[in-house]
């Protein structure tokens, strides 16, 4: 059964078909495209290009890869707000999401025109986050993370990773509901690579149905990640085929949103997977 539709300003995600979330990193040190879109005009061009195949454009201004240097809320806002200002009104078929775990940043970008906050910690790293999302009437992707981006590797300890991730996401959903975010505006992300080893990531993909059973649209962010490189021996710029295979598996196991860097190629993977489960464009 599909999750409840997500009604945004200019579009509705019914989650019958797989939706793509195109990544635009306004950072110097993201693992894949750090420095590529640091200037606002470059980021705007990348977002507009993504909008040809992605329903969501996910802007991020702080790298959350292991070992990345944290940046202040002021830096994030300085990077994000000019891009959002330039994009508002120019994305009739897509909505703006912002990848941040800081409530101060969320408040600013939602006020500027973003509609979704993609929080890798699911509200755990900033206690004000969920209240800000609720006050703006926005949607939220509740990610799974233990610790912080700097410390997460030491927290990759599980007896049953699927059961524990599901239980912790369920707790995050409950806190979001208590903060006033309706169920129809909550998505969940099991956080591949965030406090997870490669083995944990594969176990989550195999057991994704248990995450889907929470009843919220499941977002998967596998694009170009290191566990695909460990498996294939491919460098970060040569993992799109592995990513497409991974995304197809995720869709067949119930994922409904794919967070991707290469929208054109990953759109094909989503179309194939949707067709295999009986859903045509």
- Within the chain, strands assigned E span 6-7, 12-13, 19-25, 56-60, 95-99, 116-119, 139-143, 186-189, 217-220, 257-260
Pairing of strands 186-189, 217-220: parallel
> Which listed residue (77, 225, 239, 256) is catalytic?
225
Beta-carbon contacts of 141 under 8 Å, excluding residues fewer than 6 positions away, are: 97, 116, 117, 118, 119, 187, 188, 189, 219, 257
CA distance 176 to 77: 24
265 labelled catalytic: no
Give the CA dihedral 274, 261, 63, 182, nearest 10 degrees: -30
Phi, psi (rounded to 5 degrees) for 242: -60, -40
DSSP H helices in 1-72: 40-50
> Which listed residue (196, 224, 259, 267) is catalytic?
259
102 labelled catalytic: no
Gyration radius of the chain over CA positions: 17
Count Cβ neighbours within 10 Å for each residue of 165-188 and write b for 16 or more, e otherwise: bbebbbebbebbeebebeeebbbb
CA distance 53 to 39: 23
Helix axes 40-50, 73-87, angle to 10 degrees: 50
* Residues taking part in catalysis: 225, 259
């Amino acid at each position: 059964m599909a999750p409840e539709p997500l009604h945004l300003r200019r579009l509705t995600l019914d989650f019958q078909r797989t939706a793509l979330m195109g990544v635009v990193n306004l950072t110097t040190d993201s693992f894949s495209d750090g420095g590529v879109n640091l200037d606002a005009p470059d980021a705007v061009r990348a977002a507009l290009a993504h909008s040809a195949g992605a329903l969501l454009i996910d802007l991020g201004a702080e790298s959350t890869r292991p070992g990345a240097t944290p940046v202040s809320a002021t830096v994030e806002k300085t990077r994000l707000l000019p891009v959002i200002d330039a994009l508002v009104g120019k994305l009739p078929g897509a909505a703006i999401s912002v990848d941040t775990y800081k409530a101060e940043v969320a408040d600013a970008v939602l006020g500027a025109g973003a509609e979704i906050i993609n929080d890798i910690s699911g509200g755990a790293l900033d206690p004000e986050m969920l209240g800000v999302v609720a006050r703006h009437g926005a949607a939220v992707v509740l990610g799974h993370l233990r610790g912080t981006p700097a410390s997460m590797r030491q927290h990759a300890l599980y007896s049953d990773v699927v059961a524990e991730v599901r239980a912790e996401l369920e707790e995050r959903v409950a806190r979001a509901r208590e903060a006033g975010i309706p169920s129809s505006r909550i998505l969940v992300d099991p956080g591949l690579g965030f406090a997870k080893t490669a083995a944990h990531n594969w176990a989550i993909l195999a057991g994704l149905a248990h995450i889907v059973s929470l009843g919220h649209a499941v977002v998967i962010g596998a694009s170009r990640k290191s566990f695909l490189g460990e498996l294939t021996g491919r460098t970060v710029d040569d993992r799109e085929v592995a990513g497409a295979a991974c995304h197809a598996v995720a869709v067949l196991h119930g994922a409904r949103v794919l967070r991707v860097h290469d929208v054109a190629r990953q759109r094909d993977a989503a179309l194939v997977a949707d067709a295999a489960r009986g859903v045509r464009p």
